[in-house]
């Protein structure tokens, strides 16, 4: 499965909690990039060259990093992907990667948060961390990029019938419980120890 949402929606936090709850490997593309850079791998050196030049990491390199990670043994029994795919080209590549491994997505979770709340959260974060990329004009530009590049990914998963759209407003605990409840209701097989009610009000035996 994967989780997506606009900048500031809290998907990283929810991804970490959800992967622990479901006992599957969490795969954050940001963390994977940092590991490659830290360990001075060939992929990491390519990433650094782009970042040092002030460029985005291109899709071709991002796809190679994700393919390498999803071919490792710890994700063979399941994974929760955070931060990928960001656009429809990456989405198409993910389909190819999974098909080559005999896998397919069970569910794509999308957290929904109002733009005004996203801006408020990230401005608050800026006061705590001093992050220069959390200035309001930069925040709004990032939100526009999300709408342009990533919303079409969510729409494509919706057409496949695997998109689970969840309200991301409220406290961390409230969002997590809402997310679990939505998974139980729409994708009960994803939570194997859950006992969702059947249509007649009983639970499966």
User: Does residue 21 lie in a domain region?
Assistant: yes
The pLDDT score that the predictor gives to residue 194 is 42
Asked whether 184 and 196 are in contact (CB, 8 A), the reply is yes
User: Does residue 158 lie in a domain region?
Assistant: yes
pTM, full prediction: 0.84
The total of structural domains in the chain comes to 1
User: Does residue 202 lie in a domain region?
Assistant: no
User: Does residue 28 lie in a domain region?
Assistant: yes
The pLDDT score that the predictor gives to residue 49 is 85
Mean pLDDT by 10 residues, the chain (205 residues): 94 95 92 88 86 77 92 92 95 96 94 94 83 76 91 97 96 96 91 47 33
Q: Which residues contact 200 (CB under 8 A, 6 or more apart)?
A: none
User: Does residue 56 lie in a domain region?
Assistant: yes
The pLDDT score that the predictor gives to residue 191 is 76
Output the domain CATH number for residue 61: 3.40.50.300
- For residue 184, the tally of other CB atoms under 10 A from its CB is 15
User: Does residue 201 lie in a domain region?
Assistant: no
Q: In a 3-state reduction of DSSP, which class is residue 14?
A: helix
Q: Which residues contact 180 (CB under 8 A, 6 or more apart)?
A: 18, 21, 191
**Dist. CA 15–CA 136, nearest whole Å:** 25
User: Does residue 204 lie in a domain region?
Assistant: no
**Dist. CA 136–CA 111, nearest whole Å:** 21
Range of the domain at 171: 2-188
The pLDDT score that the predictor gives to residue 193 is 54
User: Does residue 33 lie in a domain region?
Assistant: yes
């Amino acid at each position: 499965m994967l989780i997506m949402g606009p900048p500031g929606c809290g998907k990283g936090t929810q991804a970490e909690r959800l992967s622990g709850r479901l006992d599957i490997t969490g795969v954050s593309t940001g963390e994977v990039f940092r590991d490659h850079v830290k360990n001075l791998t060939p992929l990491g050196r390519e990433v650094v060259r782009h970042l040092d030049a002030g460029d985005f990491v291109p899709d071709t390199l991002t796809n190679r990093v994700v393919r390498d990670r999803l071919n490792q043994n710890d994700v063979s029994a399941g994974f929760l992907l955070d931060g990928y795919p960001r656009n429809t080209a990456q989405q198409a590549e993910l389909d190819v990667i999974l098909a080559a491994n005999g896998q397919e997505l069970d569910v794509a979770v999308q957290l929904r948060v109002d733009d005004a709340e996203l801006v408020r959260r990230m401005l608050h974060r800026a006061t705590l961390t001093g992050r220069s990329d959390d200035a309001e004009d930069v925040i709004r530009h990032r939100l526009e990029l999300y709408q342009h590049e990533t919303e079409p990914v969510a729409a494509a998963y919706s057409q496949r019938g695997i998109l689970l759209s969840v309200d991301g407003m409220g406290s961390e605990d409230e969002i997590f419980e809402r997310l679990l409840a939505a998974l139980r209701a729409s994708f009960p097989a994803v939570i194997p120890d859950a006992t969702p009610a059947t249509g007649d009000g009983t639970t499966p035996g």
